[in-house]
Amino acid sequence: ASSSTTTVVTSIELTSLPKLARGKVRDLYQIDEHTLLFVTTDRISAYDVIMGNGVPLKGAILTQISAHWFRVLTERIPGLKTHFLTLSPPAALLTPAEQALVRARSMQVRKLKVFPLEAIVRGYITGSAWTEYQKTGTVHGLPQPAGLQQCSPFPQPIYTPSTKAELGSHDENISPAKAAEIVGERYASRIEALALQVYTAGAAYARERGIIIADTKFEFGLDEETDDIVLIDEVLTPDSSRFWPADQYEVGRDQDSFDKQYLRNWLTAEGLKYKEGVEMPAHIAEATSDRYKDAFKLLTGNTIEEALAAL
C-alpha cells in the first residue's frame, strides 16, 4: 500500500478540483457537471462531534465497504440504481500527489439531486427507538407490538425516516407521513420500498457472515432525466449502521457496537463526551481501526490490505 493509505488523513485539500462540500467525514469534489469525487477521510465522530485526530485506514475501509455493497446489492436487487461509477480517481485531472492522497479512499459517483431525508431502516430495537418505545409503545410514532425487549428484532424491519439536519444540528425523527410531505407522495413510497429492500438484502448477506446490521441510514438521489431513485452516499458501513457481532448478540441488554465502542467508553471514562476536537490516544485510534478492519474482513472475506493491494 502507498503511504497515503497508511498515513492518517483528516483533511484533504485538492487544488485541482473545486470542492463542493465538506461533511463530518467526507469531502466532495466536482469532476464535471454530472460527476463527483467522493472522498472519505479518516475523520471519526462519536456522540455527534468530530475527534481531533483520525483512525488509520478508516477512509479506505469505508470506501471499500461501500464499493463492495454496490456490487453485491446490484447483483441481488434487479433494477437497483446506485451512484457508484468507479474506484479509480480521475488521473488526468489530478497531480500525482493528489492521486496518491485520494487513492483507495475515494470513488467517482454520479452527482444527483439529494432527497433531504435520512432513510432509516431498523431491524432491531435499540438507541432512540428503544427509548421512545419504552415511553409510548411507538417508534417514530408508529405503534409497535407489546413485549419487545431491548435489542429484540422487530417482527419485520421498519422504515423510520428522519430529516437531514445541517452540519452541527441534530436530525429529527419523523413519521413516514411527514416524510411524504417533504419529498412528495410520488417519491416517498418508492424510497420507503427501496430502503426496506436494500436493508433486507444487506442484512441477510451480513448475517451469513457473522454481522447483525441492527439498523442503518440510506440516502437517495433523483436522476432527473429518467425519474429513477438512486442509492447514493455510503452504504451499510459501520458509520451509517449499527453493526453487532452476531456471536455476542443477546436480547434484553445493550450490545457493543463493532466499531466505536472503545472510543465511546474512553470518552465517557475521561469525561470528554460531546467535546469538540478531542485527541484520542494512539491505542484508542488503533483499537478502533482494528474493529473497522474486522468488519471489513467479515463482510468481504478479504483483509483491507489484500483489497488495497488488488486495486
User: Where along the sequence are the contacts to ligand ATP (CB under 6 A)?
Assistant: 23-26, 28, 36, 45, 83, 109-112, 114, 167, 219, 221, 232-233
Residue facing ligand ATP at closest CB distance: 23
Q: How far is the CB of 82 from ligand ATP (least distance, A)?
A: 9
Q: How far is the CB of 51 from ligand ATP (least distance, A)?
A: 12
Q: What is the DSSP letter of 146?
A: T
- Is the Cβ of residue 34 or residue 207 nearer to ligand ATP in the bound state? 34
Spatial separation of the C-alpha atoms in residues 222 and 33, rounded to whole Å? 15
Contact partners, residue 260, CB within 8 Å, separation at least 6:
44, 46, 238, 288, 291
Total count of residues recorded for the chain: 311
Q: How far is the CB of 127 from ligand ATP (least distance, A)?
A: 15
Q: How far is the CB of 23 from ligand ATP (least distance, A)?
A: 2
Cell readout for 49 is 462531534
- Is the Cβ of residue 49 or residue 100 nearer to ligand ATP in the bound state? 49
| Count of CA atoms in the C-beta half-sphere (13 A) of 214 | 25
- Is the Cβ of residue 62 or residue 188 nearer to ligand ATP in the bound state? 62
- Is the Cβ of residue 23 or residue 301 nearer to ligand ATP in the bound state? 23
Q: How far is the CB of 172 from ligand ATP (least distance, A)?
A: 13
Collapse the DSSP code of 311 into the 3-class scheme (helix H, G, I; strand E, B; otherwise coil) and give the result.
coil
The sign of the CA dihedral 114, 120, 121, 123 is positive
- Is the Cβ of residue 133 or residue 220 nearer to ligand ATP in the bound state? 220
Q: What is the DSSP letter of 209?
A: T
